[in-house]
Every structure is written in structure tokens, then in C-alpha cells.
Amino acid sequence: MSLIFQKSQPGRKGVSLPKCDVPDMPVIPEKYRRGSDAKLCELSELDVVRHFTGLSRKNFGVDTGFYPLGSCTMKYNPKILEKIAQMKGFAELHPFLPQLRYGGMLTQGALVVLYELERLLCEIAGMNAFTLQPLAGAHGELTGMMLIAAYHRDRGSKKDEVLVPDESHGTNPSSAAIAGFKTRSVPTDHKDGMLDVMALEAMITNRTAAIMLTNPNTLGIFNSKIEQVVKIAHSRDALVYYDGANLNAVLGKFRPGDAGIDVMHINLHKTFATPHGGGGPGAGPVGVQKHLVDYLPISRVVKRKDNTYTLDYDYPKSIGYIAPFYGNFSVCLKAYAYILLLGAEGLIEVSENAVLNANYVLNALKGVYDVPFNKTCMHECVLSAQKQNQYGVHALDIAKALIDEGFHPPTIYFPLIVKEAMMIEPTESESRETLDAFIAAMKRIAENAEKSPEKVCSAPVSTPVSRPDEVKAAKDMDFNFRG
């Protein structure tokens, strides 16, 4: 496979336009004009079509194979949702359509979707109100941290630090820092894979604005001490932020609001359709309890007395705008349709199957690979390649060998607190046959690691590029191609 520039032939054309019948009027001043032609590639239409079709067939996605990328939830999502998102009445709705003229009737359908999705998320998460504005999980975290800052500021408090367990998602401390907080890391209790409550109690001070915790955490473990954490935080007037990016593990089983959580976010693009990965679009709605509602970003969808809907901007204590218009509407729409499609029972089944599948993989590979925390996992499991290290094989090599087996590699070297981590998330939508095939591949690779480690270390051999220099792959596209 060569680059499109390597296929270029001087003078070859993809289009032929008729000669212009009006005089050529140079509008760009001479000093700004090119001295020579731009070095664009010169190809026929067919060359271009074949090039990009060829590239697209080298893509790996949930539509082509098993994609157990831990923490990223690359699950299959019903195609009907894409159809719904493409419906003209939604897809072609202009964000500047009048809110008041014509009684706002032109936008009522979209506003109902947003309003009802907010209510559904409140019910699912046990929160008082939601904003759908944040455009990603990390954006939700930042929004949540800004809400917490506004809350404390309003009370004249000088709280300036946020405590973040080291088993939290990496975006957590950065979101808190961007919102202006100092962060301190709370260690994990290595006996149970949850944050060390004793350490938390010793660390919390009156300057602590919030504890920010990911649950299930990045070890795939549900933090059953959450109510204790909330109690400790609230006794110091600190709030608790819950990173619920992976709510697909606990749907219908646990509601953060019931445990006293003050602020949280959900990744719609992990739990409610829309696969994560690929750089978006996503949506990270933020839910709050009553004491934080006043600070939510604008605009907010409200239901009028006559049962029509409108966007309201009149919230003097609001943190203001965090996104243009109203978030990623099509992602919200797909989440809304997904929730209605599955219903309450279906959503519970999502979580049960996600957890069952992850534990099935974990138990099948126990002994073959090291298991750092030997307990029931949630929607994803964490293995370690430490056992394979003695043969010179690392998590990276196992990930590469999986590509030759026809699978997308899992997340590796994350979470940071596990050496040689491999984080596997099978999701609820995979069949037993697929999981068995993946398990068999992982066992073959472990066997090869022992018998012929050089084979594992030279994988993949089935791809056009084997192991690109990861920096060069992004910055210098002209690296060497094999075959």
C-alpha cells in the first residue's frame, strides 16, 4: 500500500472543467501568490476511489471484529439508531431556528428529546437535574469541577484542592487542575483494589473542595466503600464527584445519587449507543443534586405551563456557556432512542451481560496470565503480562500478536498502578463464540510466549505496517512500508 502522493503522475486529472468564458481576474495581490504550483497529487478519479476504498478496507472497527479496548467500550450499537439520527427533521434542524417566533414550534421535537433524556438520566442515576451540554467525558468532568468551584465560591469558601484516588481515570486530576484546583492523589488499598479509606481520612482537610472518584474504577472494580467516602467528604463540607463514564456496568443496579453523590457525569458514548474511540463525537452529560442546580451551564431546556418546551438562559448563578448551542445533539438523540428501545429491563440486561462477559474472559485467562486483583470484576477485567516478562514478552507484544489473530488489542499499560496491564472490555454485545475465540487466541499467544517468544515479539506479520515508530507514525507519515 503506497501513499497517495507516491501514486501521483504529473498531468493526470480527476476532473475536466470547461474553459472559463469570463476573463481571469487576479484578486489576490501579486506578493501573496504562489511562485510555483502547490504540490498536490495528480490522479484520476478511479485512482482516488481505489486508494480510499483500499484504505477503508484496512480499517478495524466494531463492524469488522471484536474490539475489547478496555475503558473505551467499543460495543456494537443498533444501526437503527444511526437511521434515527439521520432523520431529516433532526439532522437538518438549524440551531438558529427561532425559539419564540411561531411559538417555537419548529424546534419542539428536538427539545422534547433533550428534556426527556434529561429526565431519564435523572431516573437512571438518581440525580436531581442533568445538563446534556458537555461534549465528552472529560468535558463533563471539567463542567462538574466548575460547578463545584462555583458552589464553594458562592458560600465564600476558600477550598482549593481536590483529592483523586490513583485508581481513577487519568482525565480526573487534569480536569480538576484545569478548573483551578490543586490535586492530591489518594493511594489504593492493594488488598481490595479500592481507594484506601484510612489514607483518605488522613489526607482530607478543610481546604478539600471535592473527592473525585471513578466507579467502577480503572481496575474494573466497583467501589463498595462509596457511602463511607461520601460521609467522610460531607463531614468536611467537601462534595463528591462520581466519574460514571462506564455506567454500563451498573445500570439498574446502583444509582450514584442514592449513595449521596453530589455531581457526576455519564459517557453517552460508552453506555447508551455511539461507540467510544475515533475522537468523537461524544457526550458527557453532568448530573447534580438540588444544591448545585443553580450553577448548571446555560442554556437549559424547560417545559412551559402550556406543555411546550423552550431554551432558557436566565440563570444568574450559572457557570455560563460550556458548549455551542446544545451539546452534541445527535449523540443525545441516539442515547434517547437507545434507552426507549431497550426499556428498563433491557438496560439491566446490558449491565448484567457486560459484567458476565468480562468475568467469563477473566476466569478463562486466570492462570494463563497474572491477575493483579483476584476478585469479581465489573464491565472490564485487568490482566498483567508480568508472567510473560521472563521470556522477554511484554504487554505490547501480546497486543501486537492479537492483531495477527484478527482481534483489536485491548488497552495496555493502563491503569498505571498495574505493571504490564492489559485491560479487556468485551462489552455486552459479544457472543460466547466470539469470547471463546478471543480466549483461545490469548492462550495461543501465552503458549508462544513461552515456546517461541521471538514470534510474539515480531508480531504483527499480517498487516501492511508491522510496528511503526509511534512518534513518527503521527509526525512523519512517510515512514517505511513493508510489502
Ligand X SMILES: *Cc1c(COP(=O)(O)O)cnc(C)c1O
Q: Which is nearer to ligand X, 276 or 394 (CB)?
A: 276
The 3-state DSSP class for residue 460 equals coil
| Residue 137 contacts ligand X per CB under 6 A | yes
Tell me whether strands 208-214 and 239-244 are parallel, antiparallel or unpaired. parallel
Q: Is the preceding peptide bond at 216 cis, omega within 30 degrees of 0?
A: yes
Q: Which is nearer to ligand X, 43 or 213 (CB)?
A: 213
Which DSSP symbol is given to 443?
H
| Residue 400 contacts ligand X per CB under 6 A | no
Question: Shortest gap between Cβ of 43 and ligand X (angstroms)?
Answer: 36
Give every CB contact of residue 433 below 8 A, 6+ residues apart in sequence: none
Question: Shortest gap between Cβ of 411 and ligand X (angstroms)?
Answer: 10
**Which residues, 48 to 77, sit near ligand X by CB under 6 A?**
71
Segment contacting ligand X by CB under 6 A, of 36-44, 242-250, 374-382, 385-393: 242-250
Q: Which is nearer to ligand X, 73 or 310 (CB)?
A: 73
| Residue 208 contacts ligand X per CB under 6 A | no
**Residue 380 burial (10 A CB sphere; 0-12, 13-18, 19+):** buried
Distances in whole angstroms, Cα of residue 220 to Cα of each of 108, 356, 364, 379: 40, 13, 17, 7
Question: Shortest gap between Cβ of 91 and ligand X (angstroms)?
Answer: 22
| Residue 169 contacts ligand X per CB under 6 A | yes
Question: Shortest gap between Cβ of 229 and ligand X (angstroms)?
Answer: 16
The three three-digit cell numbers of residue 241, written as one number: 464527584
Gyration radius of the chain's alpha carbons: 26
Which DSSP symbol is given to 292?
G
| Residue 282 contacts ligand X per CB under 6 A | yes
DSSP labels, 52-116: HHHHHTT---TTTS---BTTT------HHHHHHHH-HHHHT--TTS-SSGGGGGGGHHHHHHHHH
Q: Which is nearer to ligand X, 284 or 297 (CB)?
A: 284
Q: Which is nearer to ligand X, 243 or 420 (CB)?
A: 243
CA distance 143 to 319: 9
> Quick one: which of 107, 133, 171, 310 contacts ligand X (CB under 6 A)?
171
| Residue 246 contacts ligand X per CB under 6 A | yes
Which DSSP symbol is given to 129?
E
Q: Which is nearer to ligand X, 255 or 265 (CB)?
A: 265
Question: Shortest gap between Cβ of 196 and ligand X (angstroms)?
Answer: 19
Q: Which is nearer to ligand X, 147 or 393 (CB)?
A: 147
> Quick one: which of 161, 196, 243, 405 contacts ligand X (CB under 6 A)?
243
Question: Shortest gap between Cβ of 217 and ligand X (angstroms)?
Answer: 8
DSSP labels, 17-46: PPPP-S-----S-GGGS-SS--------HH
| Residue 223 contacts ligand X per CB under 6 A | no
CA distance 368 to 147: 46
Which DSSP symbol is given to 167?
T
Binding residues with ligand X: total (CB under 6 A): 13
Instruction: Give the CB-nearest residue to ligand X.
Output: 137
| Residue 409 contacts ligand X per CB under 6 A | no
CA distance 462 to 170: 33
| Residue 164 contacts ligand X per CB under 6 A | no
| Residue 299 contacts ligand X per CB under 6 A | no
The 3-state DSSP class for residue 430 equals coil
> H helices then E strands: how many in the chain?
15, 14
| Residue 144 contacts ligand X per CB under 6 A | no
| Residue 136 contacts ligand X per CB under 6 A | yes
Give every CB contact of residue 343 below 8 A, 6+ residues apart in sequence: none
Helix (H) or strand (E) holding 244: strand 239-244
Segment contacting ligand X by CB under 6 A, of 10-18, 33-41, 241-249, 354-362: 241-249
Q: Which is nearer to ligand X, 268 or 457 (CB)?
A: 268
Q: Which is nearer to ligand X, 246 or 384 (CB)?
A: 246
> Quick one: which of 62, 114, 245, 365 contacts ligand X (CB under 6 A)?
245
Question: Shortest gap between Cβ of 70 and ligand X (angstroms)?
Answer: 9
| Residue 214 contacts ligand X per CB under 6 A | yes
Segment contacting ligand X by CB under 6 A, of 10-18, 135-143, 403-411, 435-443: 135-143
Binding site for ligand X (CB under 6 A): 71, 136-138, 169, 171, 214, 243, 245-246, 267, 282, 284
